[in-house]
Every structure is written in structure tokens, then in C-alpha cells.
Structure 1
């Protein structure tokens, strides 16, 4: 049974709720936000979220930025956090939900390196605990405004990403991460939109281009000169314009656009760079570019 409480958030104040998979970097995010001057509360029971937010509203501006780090370690706890978030929404409290994720292999390695068990594995294996936690937190992942896949991030990379997302004056108006990837390695788990550029002729079959990547001028010119490539980029940009306007209306500040080809080496890389260059010309948009699978064999 969920707790009854009143949650009121004053104008100008900011509330961020950080959750996600154990081992995906919640503590690192908490420290990064704390370094930026956020008031950070870790391991908060869901039933305390409302009273804590009410305290924030009564602080008269002394706590303008609060981050709450929550984990969901049981099926019994999930309804509590779901009800708490629903109550905040119905009370007019604006918040951002950040979900941290990582691949099973990476999470297993992190727990093994730390020589500690997964909190949900019980008498089973680490992977058993990870599987249970994914099932419990799936709805939170779907509801999150920001999903960060930390599989390939060091603690410094993750802290840097948080610093970029939440600057001194709050989150950037609209931050877009354009990511290239290879379909053969699976879809990115944190992608909001996925574009498939496998319709473009593959430079892999051009002997002099095969050892190069989409970062190289010759490959880029080859990809962008193919029939339909620039039309695709132009039309995709037009399709994104109403999306960005909707994001602003809904107070969303972050999205990942994933551009995929077969291996993530040529077509997707060249298209991502060009798409990112064009997006950077949009007003009030900050663009970052990443290449998930570049360098894989």
C-alpha cells in the first residue's frame, strides 16, 4: 500500500530521479551531480519521495536542485516507486527520470572486479540477479526521459556525460547524441530513434575504401554522393523538426539518434557525422557524435 503525501515543487527548482541497473553507475552519477552543487539523496525509499519533495518546496530556494538516486531491488518495491512518480506527476511536480543501463557482460564483469554479489542474485549467479532486476525495472526504463548506456564508459566518461547534460544553469535546452552503430552487433539500448542506412552502396566492397572508415574524406564523399543519401538526410532533418518542438513543449532535453549500417564502420559513420553537422545548425540544440562500433573487427 503506497504512502499518502503531498508533493509541491516551486518554480525554478529542479528535480532529477536517477535509477537503473545495479552496477551501471548510479554512484558515479550521484557524485558528478554533487560536484555541480546538486543536493543528492541516495538510496531513498520510494515512499519518502513525496515528503522529500515537499521539504524541497519549503526550503524557499535553499535547495534549488535536488537529485534522488533510487534502486528497485524487489518486486514489492516497484509499485511504491511507480505510485510515487505518478503522484508527483498528478501534483504538477516536474522531474526528469534518468535510467542507467549496461550490457549483461559488462555488469557481470563489474561485479566480479568489485568482488561483490548482485543484490538480487540470492544463492544463484550474478546473471540471475541481473535478469531479475531487468524485469523489475523495465517499466522505469520505458518511462525514462534519459537513458544512458554506460557499457563502454569509464567512470570519467560517465561523469563527463552528466556534466554535459546538467550544466551550472540546468540541463541544456536540447541535447542530441547522434550515434553510429552496426546492426550485426545489435540495436543500441538507449536509442530514441533508429535510422537504417543500409540502402546506401557499401564502401566495404570498394577495395581502396575497405580499410578506411566513414571519418575519412574518401569514404565520406563516396557515401554522401550516392543516389538518395542527401535526400534521406534532408528529409530526416525535416521530420525531426516537429519532434524537437514537441520535446520542448514536453520539457524533454535529451535524445539519442542511432544511425546503423551493417558493421558500423563506413556508411553509418559518414552519415552520422553529416547528420550531426546539420543538426548543430538548429537553434538551441547541442550535438554530440559517437561511434559505438567503430574499431570492431
Structure 2
């Protein structure tokens, strides 16, 4: 009986000898990846598309959502020619964009798997970027730029809520955004589960892309220890003060234990990216030390990759 995953277990090829069972190597089917990139105008969609293209993705920009199904079907028929397809869908398609959820639901119903990357940024950042580029917002019309941004946020609210990955680019320049996209999608094959552990200062605001927020202001603050104040949570003396002298290691143990079933659930639900934010007052001492230790512990879990980012370090 012939196994369809083999080139023929008992067949004769013209010009060749007889092929016997055991002589053949299994031919693994090519797994295609479909990524839908969307988000706020000015948040970096073009930069993300360029980074994806640099790493072998076939990128289609400004595609009307109604054509997603046709393109996905083509990808499924030609997996070797289109193993990685990224489609940028945004409000430039105007009235056609209103049907994007219907188009994504149709993809799911047809059995085509996909992921959604949503790029976001603060209103202040978006205004600054549009002013630097001397271009109006696509939904601005005769109103103010903020009116256009508000209209776009309302239009995209539903998409953001269902997106698997939300990346806030407010503090990223084009090079840093390119690096972030590279870290997410440069490896061959589907990403398993990528975690970003981010320290931050509450006085600078919550990270908008955080899936979990841990508040470590319950720990004694090294800021009030004169010999520790100039140092950061990356320094050994501060780290020991936070983690050892004040038993924060127990908090890290229990937090990792609490996250394990959540991360398992993410894998089952095909969610590949999550941000865990750890905050203290200024983002210099406690949050940095705890975030670094938390990242080390999470990196020991199976099927995860972990990166660390200290958002507000150096702002004081």
C-alpha cells in the first residue's frame, strides 16, 4: 500500500532502478503562514512590511479585505511559492475596510489559519509623525488631525480586540520597530510563543500593549537607600537588595507558577506573543530587577522564547 507522504513505496521510475520501501525519506508538506498586518495609520505598517519582506515574506499592501480569501486560496495551492504571505489591510481601502471582520471570519470558516498583527501608537505620537511627514490623516477630511485619529480608533476597535499580537510603537524608531518585527517573524516555521518582559514606571503610564501587569511597588524602594539610589535594577547590589533581602524571589516563583496554565492556554488557542509588564514608581530599581529575574525564570519553560525590555530606564 502506498503512503501518500512518500514519493512511491514500490514504484519504478523511468531511467532509474526499482525503489524499495525504506529507501525513501518522508517528504514533509510545506506549511504556509498567513499574517494580516493592520493598525493605526502612522503606527509603522510600512516599516513592518519592509522588515517582513527582508526576511522572505511575500508582502501585499493595501489589499481590499474582500480579496483576502482569493489570495489565501492561492497561497494554499502554491505553498512552495508562497510559504510566507503578509497582507497589509488598513483604512486606505475606505468603505471596503468595513467588511474586514466578515473576510476574516470567512477565512476561519474555510479552515485557513492566520494571525493578526495590530500596530498601535499614542495619539501624541501619531500627530507628531504625521506633522513630520507633512501629510494629512487619511480620515481627517476637513476636520482636525485628532478627529481623523479618533475616527480610525473607533473603526479599528473591534480588530484590535481580536488581534493576536498588539505592538505599541510609540517609543520605537523605525530601526527599533524593524528589529521588533524581525524578532517576531524572522525564524523559519511558525513561532511557538514569544514573551516580552517589560519593566516600566507607573508615573510614565501603563504600557498599552501589556497582556499582564505586575505591580511591585509593595517592595521596599532602593531609591531611599543613599548608596543604592544612583544604581539601577541591572546592578548586582540593587538586584540583591530587591530579590534577596526582601524575598521578592518568592513573588517571582508564585507569579511564574500562576502564568504557566495561561501560557499553555495561549498555545492551545494559537496565540504566539504576549507582553508581561512589571511596574514600580519610576521604572529604575524594583521593576527592572524583578523583570530581569522573571525573564530568566520564564525562559526555563518549554516552547517559549523570552526577551527583556526596560521601557523607562534612564528617564529619571
Q: Same fold (TM over 0.5)?
A: yes
Question: 1:49-91: per-residue Cα shift (whole Å, max 9, x none)?
Answer: 1111112222253211110001025884454001111111222
Matches within 5 A, 1:227-238: 227-238=246-257
Matched, 1:111 2:130: yes
Residue 284 of structure 2 is matched in structure 1 by 265
Greater gyration radius: 2
1:172 shift after superposition: 3.1
Q: What is the CA deviation profile of residues 167-195 of structure 1, one whole-angstrom value per residue up to 9, with x for unaligned ones?
A: 24134322110000111111111111111
Listed as ranges, the matches of 1:1-297 within 5 Å are 12-72=31-91, 76-297=95-316
Task: Indicate conservation of the 8 Å contact 1:196/1:261, yes or no.
Answer: yes
1:207-247 deviation per Cα after TM superposition (whole angstroms, max 9, x unaligned): 22222211111111111124441111001111111122112
Mapped partners of 1:141, 1:213: distance in 2: 35
Aligned length: 288
Q: What residue ranges of structure 2 are gaps of 5+ in the alignment?
A: 1-28
SS at match of 2:91: coil
Normalised TM-score (structure 1): 0.92
Local SS of the residue matching 1:214? coil
Structure 1: distance between partners of 2:248 and 2:79: 54
Higher relative contact order (CA 8 A, sep 6+): 1
Q: Distance in 2 between matches of 1:211 and 1:228?
A: 22
Q: What RMSD in Å do the two structures reach over aligned CA positions?
A: 1.7
CA contact under 8 A between 1:38 and 1:67: conserved in structure 2?
yes
Write the distance in 2 (CA, Å) between the matches of 1:75 and 1:262.
Answer: 42
Cα distance in 1 between the residues matched to 2:304 and 2:126:
32
Shift of 1:40: 0.8
2-side partners of 1:81 and 1:174: how far apart? 26
Any conservation in 2 of the 1:74–1:136 contact (CA below 8 Å)?
no
TM-score (norm 2): 0.87
Which structure 1 residue ranges, 5 or more long, are not aligned? 1-9
Q: What is aligned with 2:24?
A: none
Q: Residue 198 of structure 2 contacts residue 291 of structure 2 at CA under 8 Å; is this kept in 1?
A: yes
